[in-house]
Amino acid sequence: MPENILLDPTAETAAVMQPRLARSQSIAGKTIGLLDIAKMRGDEFLNRLDELLTARGYTVKRYRKRHFTHLAPIELKQQIKSECDLVVEGLAD
């Protein structure tokens, strides 16, 4: 049975595309996670960001994926969600 297309069981009052979480209006007082996806030179960007944020008094926490071709493991996502208010990923080449 093909299941790649499903029929919408709802009253279709919401858009098909689900909205992203709203971006935080302010970073004041927030704990900021920096996630290095382990792609080359991403760390340069994140290190600089870390310096700038830390100098301004923000709490910064660092995380790193094993390899950029792999999805972040669920434990890492849960850890970031439980420890941070915001997360910045460094995508680089």
Partner 1 sequence: MQESIPETNDKPAFASATFVAFVKQDCPTCVLAMPVLRRIEDLAGRYGGTLEVHVQDDVSFAVGFSHASDDTALATSYHYNIDTVPTLIRLAGGQEEARVVGWRRSEWQAITGIPGLGDGLPEYRPGCGSKTMDPGMPARLKVKYGNTGLASRRIAVPPLSDPVETCYERGWTDGLPVVPPAEERVLEMLDGTARAPQEIIGRIPPNFAECTVEKVAINAVMAGCRPEYMPVVLTAIEAALTPAFGLHGVLATTNACTPVIMVNGPIARTLGMNAKGNVFGQGNRANAAIGRTLQLVVRNVGGGRPGEIDRSVFGSPAKYSFCFAEDEDDPRWDSFAVSLGYSPKASTVTIFPGDGITQIIDHISRQPDDLCRSFAGCIRAIYRTGHIIGVQAFLAIAREHAIVFYEAGWSKARVRDELLSLLRIPVREVVSGRAGLMGLTAEEKSDPDNLVPKFKNGTFNIIRAGGYAGKYSAIIPSIGGRGSIEPVTREIR
Would you tell me which residues interact with partner 1 (CB under 8 A)?
1-13, 16, 18
Q: What is the C-alpha separation between 93 and 43, in angstroms, rounded? A: 11
Q: What is the C-alpha separation between 54 and 51, in angstroms, rounded? A: 5
Q: What is the C-alpha separation between 58 and 41, in angstroms, rounded? A: 23
Nearer to partner 1, 18 or 25 (CB): 18
Nearer to partner 1, 18 or 82 (CB): 18
For 61, the enclosing helix (H) or strand (E) is strand 59-64
Q: Whole-number minimum distance, CB 59 to partner 1, in Å?
A: 31
Q: Whole-number minimum distance, CB 69 to partner 1, in Å?
A: 14
Q: Whole-number minimum distance, CB 13 to partner 1, in Å?
A: 7
